[in-house]
């Protein structure tokens, strides 16, 4: 994405150091200057960003944490959604892609129950009926490429943050 949109600054958040090292190496090889990395957990987002500072969040192929008791770790759990709503600008949005249907269904429910407005929901991003506009915006990630080769459908949605709430 950083290569396709050099005019945009990207910040990648990752809690696994080895993943960041690999990404840094790829960034350096590609000569990209518009991407920075933070080694932290998503629960720490409000420690790094001010209210309204971020325009868009991409949740690409997040760990699904499949067991019910692991739900609090899912990046679309209500505790994370609250943090995202704080740092996103008015009209800011989240774009989520996953190959995991259970996580996707959970995410739709979580976004909806927490006042987010959903759009461009698809259970098969690469199906022929997907609007060209969505496909033109899509940057195929390494995971996405692998899952496509395995014949897995890619689920995608956009979620617009709820209106600002100044009181708790």
For the annotated catalytic residues, the residue numbers are: 63
Question: What is the length of the chain?
Answer: 168
Q: What is the DSSP string of 79-115?
A: HHHHHHHHHEEEEEEEEEEES-HHHHHHHHHHHHHTT
3-class DSSP assignment, residue 85? helix
Task: Quote the crossing angle between the two packed helices 78-87 and 101-113, to the nearest 10°.
Answer: 60
CB-based contacts of 28, cutoff 8 Å, min separation 6: none
The residue among 53, 54, 6, 70 whose CA lies nearest residue 32 is: 6
């Amino acid at each position: 994405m950083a290569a396709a949109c050099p005019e945009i600054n990207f910040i990648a958040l990752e809690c696994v150091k080895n993943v960041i090292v690999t990404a840094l190496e790829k960034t350096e090889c590609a000569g990209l200057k518009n991407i920075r990395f933070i080694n932290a957990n998503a629960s720490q987002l409000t420690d790094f960003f001010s209210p309204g500072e971020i325009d868009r969040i991409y949740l690409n192929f997040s760990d699904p944490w499949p067991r019910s008791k692991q739900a609090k770790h899912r990046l679309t759990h209500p505790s994370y959604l609250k943090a995202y709503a704080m740092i996103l600008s008015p009209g800011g949005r989240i774009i989520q892609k996953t190959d995991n249907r259970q996580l996707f269904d959970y995410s739709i429910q979580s976004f909806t129950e927490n006042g987010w407005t959903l759009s461009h929901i698809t259970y098969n991003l690469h199906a022929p009926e997907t609007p060209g506009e969505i496909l033109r915006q899509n940057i195929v990630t390494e995971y996405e490429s692998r899952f496509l080769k395995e014949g897995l459908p890619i689920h995608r949605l956009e979620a617009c943050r709820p209106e600002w709430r100044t009181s708790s």
